């Protein structure tokens, strides 16, 4: 019993340490956002400010590029997630339900694309985006988000593989077309997978800075993350403003994850168990 108690204490200590590692940067950023410029110099980053101020948040919320970034992020997110769900579900259904020539090659190519790091193909991708005249438009990140990350294909395949083929056969015998079969029977049964894809993709797109910064340098095309570049001169005394901007931009993704984390975990777990 003594050994079991020691083991339990050790496990709890490890869990607490991991939580602190995750929360510490967030807390330090929050402390900085509540400080004045003088407090940033005179107090430790590990301590709360002597006088809490919300002036940094007001300054960030008054920046017009924050709202431009919010509008552009929502537009990119809506279009990208819609096509991720549509193309991911249809492609996964075709791969799982139909036998066709070179099927294994197609599947291998899809997953090879997932395994190759994006920076390896960045030069070629950049030239393609410029070649089709999407550079410095909202279309550039939308195309990349739809085509580059095929995680949704894996999730949908796990769910579709668990659905009995008898569903398809019964619907086809009743005169249903393949499109009607997919739209009316198969896709509604994929609701947990769809919820998982929507939430994970949304968090990924909202948090991404690299693609919008590289492919949309124009001010009118700022996103929530590239908006933070307004405070990139942190070495000149705007650390507190940068911290406030980070907290404001973090809130949507934190709220999204807190509200829907059970769908994320349930969807991934169900797909793994069914697969």
For the chain, the structural domain boundaries read 1-53, 63-237+250-274
pLDDT at 273: 46
pLDDT (tens digit per residue) in 164-219: 888 888 888 888 888 888 988 899 988 888 888 888 888 889 889 899 999 999 98
Which burial class, exposed, middle or buried, applies to 165 when counting CB atoms under 10 A from its CB (0-12, 13-18, 19+)?
exposed
Q: Tell me the whole-structure pTM to 2 decimals.
A: 0.81
Residues 6+ apart with CB under 8 A from 190: 89, 156, 159, 160
Return the CATH number of 63-237+250-274, one of 1.10.8.640, 3.40.50.1240, 1.25.10.10, 1.10.3720.10: 1.10.3720.10
pLDDT at 269: 55
Checking if the pLDDT of 275 tops 60, the result is: no
| Ranges 43-47, 93-97, 105-109, 153-157: which has the least confidence | 43-47
pLDDT (tens digit per residue) in 25-82: 888 888 888 888 888 878 777 778 778 889 889 988 988 889 999 999 999 999 999 9
pLDDT (tens digit per residue) in 102-136: 888 888 888 777 777 777 788 888 999 999 999 99
What would the mean pLDDT of 215-230 be, rounded to a whole number?
89
pLDDT at 274: 45
């Amino acid at each position: 019993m003594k050994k079991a108690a020691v083991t339990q204490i050790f496990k709890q200590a490890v869990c607490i340490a991991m939580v602190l590692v995750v929360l510490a940067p967030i807390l330090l950023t929050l402390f900085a956002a509540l400080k004045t410029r003088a407090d940033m110099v005179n107090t430790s980053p590990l301590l709360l400010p002597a006088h809490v101020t919300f002036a940094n948040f007001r300054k960030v919320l008054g920046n017009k590029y924050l709202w431009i970034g919010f509008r552009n992020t929502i537009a990119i997110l809506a279009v990208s997630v819609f096509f991720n769900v549509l193309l991911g579900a249809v492609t996964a259904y075709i791969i799982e339900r139909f036998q066709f020539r070179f099927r294994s090659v197609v599947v291998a190519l899809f997953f090879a694309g997932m395994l190759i790091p994006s920076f390896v193909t960045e030069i070629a991708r950049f030239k393609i985006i410029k070649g089709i005249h999407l550079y410095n438009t909202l279309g550039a990140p939308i195309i990349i988000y739809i085509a580059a990350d095929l995680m949704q294909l894996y999730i949908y395949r796990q769910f579709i593989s668990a659905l009995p083929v008898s569903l398809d056969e019964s619907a086809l015998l009743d005169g249903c077309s393949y499109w009607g079969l997919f739209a009316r029977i198969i896709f509604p049964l994929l609701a947990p997978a769809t919820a998982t894809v929507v939430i994970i993709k949304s968090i990924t797109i909202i948090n991404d800075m690299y693609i919008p910064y590289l492919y949309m340098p124009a001010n009118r095309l700022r996103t929530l993350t590239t908006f933070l570049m307004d405070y990139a001169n942190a070495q000149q005394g705007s650390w507190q403003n940068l911290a406030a901007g980070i907290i404001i931009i973090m809130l949507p993704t934190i709220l999204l994850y807190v509200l829907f984390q059970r769908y994320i975990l349930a969807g991934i777990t169900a797909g793994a168990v069914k697969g």
